[in-house]
Amino acid sequence: MAQLLEGKTALILGVANKWSLAYAIAQAFRREGAAVLLTYQNERLKAAVEELGGEIGAARIFECDVTKDEDLAKLPAEIAEFGKLDAVVHSVAFANREDLSRPFVETSRAGFLLAQDVSAYSLVAVARAAAPLMKAGGSIMTLTYLGSTRVVPNYNVMGVAKAALEAAVRYLANDLGPSNIRVNAISAGPVKTASARAVKGIGSMLEEAPARAPLRRNCDPAEVADTAVFLASDLGRGVTGNVIFVDAGLQLLGA
Ligand code: 1JT
């Protein structure tokens, strides 16, 4: 079968380790023929991302902290050799650990703003930096979670940040649509990533999901990645401003 992303260049932010959803997406994009550019947040993650990028044949690997405008200003130089950028995957979030366990009402101003800056505003900053490079149109996508619209125990400040992120997807889709740039979010069901494991309660969610989910199993990073391929490819050309659930059907349930 023809490769779905042949001739396309994709920037993927948020690979931290082999469990990262961003890494599953990078693998799927390579399988479909895209040139893949990976970023790492800082020196601490550099070696790990370089090793993972080497394994999949990433075209470029560079430092990009999405909270630093000067790092985002490097994008034009990094993609210059490819002529244009076609897809961006934003798979970045952060909150203080204490804000993912104590009652939401106790969230500090600093903790709230940190989660918003890293997890929601960063999509706006990335889209603004990437859009001028998407000369043949493009697809920008981010990762979200059901805690944006429902109260999921302990998700707390991240739920509020994901609500802002999903609203940003809609406003960005409207702004960038005239340039044929689509903006969407993938809402992944619970998966065993390193960030998820840092969180109290994810273990029991993963244990209970196979009995409750309509598809009667847990979610697999590879199926999140295949939806990202669809959104980045021309198959997704009519889809913008959406939140697509890749969660084995869990979001349908009322109780
Ligand atoms: C972050 C973390 C963002 C974990 C995340 C996340 N988006 C989804 N998850 C997994 C998760 C987290 C919680 C949860 C269910 C799933 C951790 C680091 C900060 C960013 O609650 C039951 C809290």
Note the pLDDT of residue 105. Answer: 98
**CB 145 near ligand 1, within 6 Å:** yes
State whether the beta carbon of 91 lies less than 6 angstroms from ligand 1.
no
Reported pTM? 0.97
Q: Is 236 exposed, middle or buried (0-12, 13-18, 19+ CB in 10 A)?
A: buried
Ligand 1 atom nearest the C-alpha of 162 is 7
Asked if 251 contacts 215 with a C-beta cutoff of 8 angstroms, the reply is: no
Helix (H) or strand (E) holding 48: helix 43-56
DSSP per-residue codes, 192-241: --HHHHTSTTHHHHHHHHHHHSTTSS---HHHHHHHHHHHHSGGGTT--S
Amino acid identity, position 63: E
Residue 192, pLDDT score: 84
User: Which structure tokens are listed for 242?
Assistant: 């959406």
Query: Are the CB atoms for 248 and 189 separated by under 8 Å?
Result: yes
Give me the sheet containing 9-13, strands edge to edge: 60-63, 35-40, 9-13, 87-90, 138-144, 181-188, 243-246
Residue 217 CB: number of other CB atoms within 10 A? 13
Per-residue pLDDT for the chain (255 aa), expressed as one digit of tens each?
Answer: 799 999 999 999 999 999 999 999 999 999 999 999 999 999 999 999 999 999 999 999 999 999 999 999 999 999 999 999 999 999 999 999 999 999 999 999 999 999 999 999 999 999 999 999 999 999 999 999 999 999 999 999 999 999 999 999 999 999 999 999 999 999 999 998 888 877 777 888 888 999 999 999 999 999 999 999 999 999 999 999 999 999 999 999 998
Does the beta carbon of 224 lie inside 6 Å of ligand 1? no
Catalytic residue list contains 171? no
Domains of the chain and any CATH numbers: 9-249 (3.40.50.720)
**23 labelled catalytic:** no
Ligand 1 in contact with 14 (CB < 6 A)?
no
Q: Give me the pLDDT at residue 197, please.
A: 79
Terminal C-alpha separation, the chain: 41
Which residues on adjacent β-strands are paired with residue 10?
36, 87
* pLDDT of res. 107: 98
Among protein residues, the one with the nearest Cα to ligand 1's atom 12 is 196
Q: What confidence score (pLDDT) does residue 201 get? A: 79
Concatenating the DSSP letter of every residue in 76-142 gives HHHHGGGS---EEEE------GGGGTS-GGG--HHHHHHHHIIIIIHHHHHHHHHGGG-BTBEEEEE
